[in-house]
Chain A
Amino acid sequence: GAGVSQSPRYKVAKRGQDVALRCDPISGHVSLFWYQQALGQGPEFLTYFQNEAQLDKSGLPSDRFFAERPEGSVSTLKIQRTQQEDSAVYLCASSPVGGTDRSYNEQFFGPGTRLTVL
Chain B
Amino acid sequence: RKEVEQDPGPFNVPEGATVAFNCTYSNSASQSFFWYRQDCRKEPKLLMSVYSSGNEDGRFTAQLNRASQYISLLIRDSKLSDSATYLCVVSHGSGNTGKLIFGQGTTLQVKP
Contact = CB atoms under 8 A, between A and B. Distances in A.
Interface of A: 31, 33, 35, 40-45, 48, 50, 55-56, 59, 91, 93, 95, 98-102, 104-107, 109-112
Contact of B97 (A42, A44, A48, A110): A48
A14 B42 CA distance: 25
Say whether chain B's binding surface is mostly helix, strand, loop, or mixed.
Answer: loop
Contacts of A35: 100, 102
Q: Which range holds the interface residue count of chain B?
A: 20 to 34
Interface of B: 4, 8, 32, 42-46, 49, 87, 89, 91, 94-105
Contact of A42 (B45, B96, B99, B105): B105
Nearest to A41: B104
A106 B99 contact: no
A40 B85 CA distance: 10
A112 B99 contact: no
Nearest to B95: A100
B104 A42 contact: yes
12 contacts: A35-B102, A41-B105, A42-B87, A42-B104, A43-B44, A43-B87, A45-B100, A48-B99, A55-B97, A56-B97, A104-B98, A111-B43
